[in-house]
Copies of this chain bind each other. A is one copy, B any other.
Amino acid sequence: MKFKKILFLEIKKENLEPHFWKRIDELSEDKVFLSVDDPNIKSNLTSVDCICTKGFVKKIDKEIIDSIPNLRYIGVLATGYGKIDAEYAAAKGVVVTNVPGYATNAVAELVFGVILERLRDLSRAKNQAAGGNYSESTFFNTSEIKGKKFGIIGLGRIGSRVAEIALGFGAEVFYFDRNRKKEIENKGAKFSDLERLVSTCDFIAIHLVLNKETENIINSSLIQKIRSRTVIVNLAPNELVDLKALEERLAMGDITYILDHSDELSQEQAVKLSKHKNCIMYPPIGYTTKEASIIKQEIFVQNIENFLKGSPTNKVN
């Protein structure tokens, strides 16, 4: 089984490695690349039966779905598929797949990168030495990870990797999750309720999925209970945290909050948070490793292959 014609929206030649294109070429008789605003987009759609998209620029709504009569499959080269009307697609028998979890290890390693940067003041040290000043005199009283209490909120794929690495550093690892995770407990991590975790840990890494239950789960009451000198890393959505309460706590100057700034943070919130010296922001660089990109492409192509074989993987609708 092959597709007749795959429409690539936003996905360009350079977005996939050559050997992935080879595999895709075996899955379709024809392919067409169109930019979102192409005036000829409509006339190119007649024989299209598959759309591949990055899923974050172009809305794939009812109108588009209806305008492609032979459409059977939409493959998203991303985890998020919010711009796609997956429900309507399902009603029309169109399968939508995404690429979940490709950046698990990439994000987990970044957690320790940003923690160590903070603990050892690496940016400042590097800049100072680049300027020819090699004195360590202003770098005393920094901190280590070993022997500290390391709390992980949300022990999914990323949280579990963070736990493994933290154990390698010799930290005492605590986790909160809806479910007990025996596998990671056997490695040495201990279950904790949220309140105890935030009030006892030296490090807190937040790795929950955002949904109605978890929105603002790190609420004002919990934020007040965080112990002094705690370093919190949130590379998950900032909606998990009551940002107003966080700001008040940051103003006290006794905790550190490290985040990567993704779309969900408004410009106003970003400006407010960035006023606090103890709030450290990064661009969303958790997922940008070569390794994550390869895994992402592999899952994306496998999704297409598996759909054509009749056993779709990572179906979201």
Interface residue ranges, A against B (CB under 8 Å): 105-106, 109-110, 112-114, 116-117, 119-123, 125-130, 132-136, 139-147, 164-170, 261, 270-271, 274, 280-285, 288-293
Q: How many copies does the complex hold?
A: 2
Tell me the complex Cα distance, A167–B168, Å. Answer: 7
Tell me the complex Cα distance, A29–B223, Å. Answer: 50
On whether the beta carbons of A114 and B122 are closer than 8 Å, the reply is yes
- Report the minimum CB–CB distance from A284 to chain B (whole Å): 5
Q: Give the interface SS of chain A, mostly helix, strand, loop or mixed.
A: helix
Chain B residues within 8 Å of A292, by CB: 144
Given the interface pairs A136-B283, A169-B168, A288-B139, the reply to whether A120 lies near B126 with Cβ below 8 Å is: no
Tell me the complex Cα distance, A140–B282, Å. Answer: 14
Tell me the complex Cα distance, A106–B119, Å. Answer: 11
- Report the minimum CB–CB distance from A256 to chain B (whole Å): 13
On whether the beta carbons of A129 and B261 are closer than 8 Å, the reply is yes
* 7 closest Cβ pairs, A-B complex: A168-B168, A113-B116, A134-B261, A129-B281, A123-B123, A136-B283, A139-B285
Tell me the complex Cα distance, A112–B145, Å. Answer: 11
Given the interface pairs A106-B144, A164-B168, the reply to whether A285 lies near B136 with Cβ below 8 Å is: yes
